[in-house]
Each structure stands twice: as structure tokens, then as C-alpha cells.
Amino acid sequence: MKKDVIIRKHSSLIQTNIKELTLIQRKLINYLIYVVQKNGYKDLYETNIHELKKMCNISITDTLYLKNQFRKLSEISIEFNYLNKDKQETWQKMTFLASVEIFLGNGRIEFEFSKKLIERILKPKMYSALNIVLIAGLRSSYSVILYEFLRDYLSEVPSKHSIPFLTVNQLKELMGINVNEYQLFQNFKVRVLDVAIKEINEKADIHCDYKLIKMSGKGQKIIGVQFYARKQEIKDQFNLSEGILTQYSSDIEQKAKGNIIENKNEFIAQEIIMEIPEKYRIKSLFEEINKKIKEGKNVNYIKLNLKYAFKKANENPLFYAINALKNNYAGFDIEIEEKKILEKKAQSVAVKDNENQKKREEIALNAIRSLSPEKYENLYEEAKSLNVKENPGNSFFLNNLMIEIRMAKMYMEKSERNNYQSSDND
């Protein structure tokens, strides 16, 4: 596979007000554009699940999950010239996917677009050149949206447009957030804007910043955001986009459980790397992490001990972190706790096949983490209340992992009810 896989993405496919697209759906859109531009004009385009998952950095193996993502894409429509970037162009709106078919036996995927959309994809009047391998390495949908938006204006040569000023409502629309969410701008800044900026600056080929624009007068209410961006070299040797290019086997994929990167022929989950301050990402610590992976220690064991060490160490954090991994300073054996949790969940849902249950739980966790902030918070509070009610006085069930496990269980139960009702109606 090439290190860089570039698509020319029409500005209107970037500057869109489509709500609630998941991270995976946004990566799928880029991949489908890549297939069209690779093959030119056709009535029907073809790819396969294996290639799609590799290019989009998707580790989920359940085909039902992919079907749900495509179902959403078939329901959306694209509004061209939404932010009026092209002053001369007419307004236009069209559906994204005309049809899609997945052949479960061999994993083949066939899809088609309308002729007008194919024309827009193959001959974009205004576009940004995007590296979909780099984008596949981003972990936040907000990062993907903001990166593509900034890259859209940064790529103009010669530059005729500066990055436009966005009102708060326009920015929320662009990020796929309802205008009535995050009424306090500080919450929006912390949970959405700063998260995206941080990941882009750490992983992408641009560096971005912003200035808050306030209304003059008493109170100085924030009315909008002005972004600034410039190109930069990708200096982080552990950037996830490098890991996507590695031809990793399914057993390594199962070990990493998702996003992985390569470090001297050993594979370390990206979520582990994120627990280590950049200046301590050095050979001796990675060697100790690799030892723990070989010993069978799971991601949570390593993450918790790293988090504990870098929080508690008053001096020599690197030495403290290495000893924390060796001696389990986090306070309990993560593997034993996870085994108890899995056994309890297996009993409650009466699964016949433990491996299938683990896959369903992974799908459910990814699904709830892709919910809009409002839906996530509502489900979070409901799950927390149930954990408190069923386990009074036990703070263990109030940690985020246990609450998200309960959220995933609730999500699966709701999906099963909906499937049952749907079958009933049939």
C-alpha cells in the first residue's frame, strides 16, 4: 500500500451540516470517494470489506455493524455550497449513496452514486487534497471534521481565501452538534474544540490555532471563532497513520483491540501511547511495555499503571512508570477484575458463545462512544444511577469503565428489543 493515499475531496463534501455522522462513517465517505476517483466513471463501483477496513483503520469484525454504518450513509444528503465558499456557484442538494449491497459470502461491496454526484467527485471545481491514511489514524470525529475544513482552505494555491470566520452556531453545525447543545461555550471549548485541536497538532500535517471573537460591550459574549493554520512536518514517530500502513495479522489486531502502531516490530496500542507524556516516549519505557504485552498483560493494566505513575511521581517519572508496570502500583490486578466482569455479563445476557459476546460488547462500546454529546450524557447518567442502585456503597461501579459497560449492556438490550419488534412487524 502507498504511504500516502490522496483524494480530491469537493469542498461541499467537507463543509457540510450533516448531523451525527460517526467517526467511522466519515472515514467511509473518504474511502468511497477514493474508489470512485480510482476507477473513473462507472454505473456501479466495487470494493471489499477487507480493503475497506484496512484503509479506514476499522478493527470491528461484525458485518452487521458495517451494514448499520452504510445504512446511515444511504439516508444522508449533501448540500453543496453550504458555507458559500464559491460565490458564483448555485445551491444544490443530493443524496449521498444511491444504493449499496454487501455480499456476506465473499465480502464484496457494490455501491452506486447519482450521476451528478459522480461528476462532483471526479471533477470537483473546488476541492482539498486529503491523505485518507492520515485521516484514518484520527480517533475523534471532531478532529476529522476540523482537519478537513482547515485543510480545505490551506490547500488553495495560490491562496485566494483566508479561513473564514465562523459564528458559534456555524461551527456547531459544521462539527455535527445541535445548536442547543453545549449552551456554555466553555464546555464546547473543552469537550469539542480543544480535543480536535490537540489531536490535529499531534498527528496531522498541519498546525492549527484559533482566536475567540467576543461581542463588544458588557459581558463580552463569545460570538464566533477565527481559525489559523499552517503546514507542518509530521514529527511524531509514533503517529498512528504509520501503523495503518503495516500489514498486521488478525492475531496482532486482536491483541491491540483497535488502533495500533509499530515500535521496533512490537505493536503497542495507540491508547497506551496517549497515556505517556511526549518527552517520556523513549526506548526503556517502551521495552518495559512490550515485556508486559508478551507476559499477557492487557491494555487496561498498562494504561492504569502509566496513568497512576505520571500522576503520582514527584521526581523521576520515567523510573516510577517502569516500576509501576513491574509491580502493579495501580492497586489491583486488572486481568482478574476484567475476568470477573466478563463472567458476570455472560451470565446476565445468557450468551452461548463467549467469543461472540465479546464482539457484541466491542460493537456496543464503539456505538455509545459515537453518540452525540447530549445522548451520551443522558445514557451515562441513566447507567450511573442503575449502578448506584444495584451496588450501593461500592465505588468500584462508579468508575467510567463500569459505567460504560452498563451503557453498552443497555444499548445491546435496546437493540435486541428493536430487532424483536422489527421481526414481529415483518
* pLDDT reported for residue 257: 35
Q: How many distinct structural domains can be found in the chain?
A: 3
Q: Dump pLDDT digits (tens) for 1-55.
A: 345 788 988 776 776 556 567 888 889 999 999 999 999 999 999 999 989 988 9
Altogether, the residues listed in the chain come to a count of: 426
Q: Are 115 and 226 in a shared domain?
A: yes
Give ∠ CA 338-339-341 in degrees, rounded to 5: 60
Q: How far apart are CA 277 and CA 67, in angstroms?
A: 38
Q: What is the DSSP string of 42-88?
A: -SSEEEEHHHHHHHHT-----HHHHHHHHHHHHH-EEEETTT--STT
* pLDDT reported for residue 201: 93
Q: Work out the pLDDT band at 355, boundaries 50, 70, 90.
A: low
Cis peptide before 158 (omega within 30 of 0): yes
Q: Are 11 and 46 in a shared domain?
A: yes
Confirm if 92 and 81 have CB atoms less than 8 A apart.
Answer: yes
* pLDDT reported for residue 67: 87
Q: What is the pTM of this model?
A: 0.53
Q: Dump pLDDT digits (tens) for 359-369.
A: 777 788 888 88
Q: Are 79 and 33 in a shared domain?
A: yes
Domain containing 360 equals 347-425
* pLDDT reported for residue 104: 80
Q: Where residue 179 sits, what CATH number does that domain have?
A: 1.10.10.10
393 occurs within a structural domain: yes
Q: Dump pLDDT digits (tens) for 157-198.
A: 444 447 889 999 989 988 888 878 888 899 899 989 999 999
Instruction: Render the burial of 130-142: b for 16+ CB within 10 Å, e for the rest.
Output: bbbbbbbbbbbbb
Q: Are 326 and 355 in a shared domain?
A: no
Residue where one domain finishes, among candidates 231, 266, 281 = 231
What grid cell was written down for 284? 526503556
Q: Are 296 and 320 in a shared domain?
A: yes
From residue 85, give the alpha-carbon distance in Å to each of 82, 161, 164, 393.
Answer: 8, 9, 9, 56
Q: Report, as an integer, the average pLDDT of 103-129.
A: 87
Mean pLDDT, all residues of the chain: 78
410 occurs within a structural domain: yes
Residue where one domain finishes, among candidates 231, 263, 280 = 231
Residue where one domain finishes, among candidates 203, 231, 259 = 231
Q: Are 416 and 297 in a shared domain?
A: no
Q: Are 418 and 371 in a shared domain?
A: yes
236 occurs within a structural domain: no
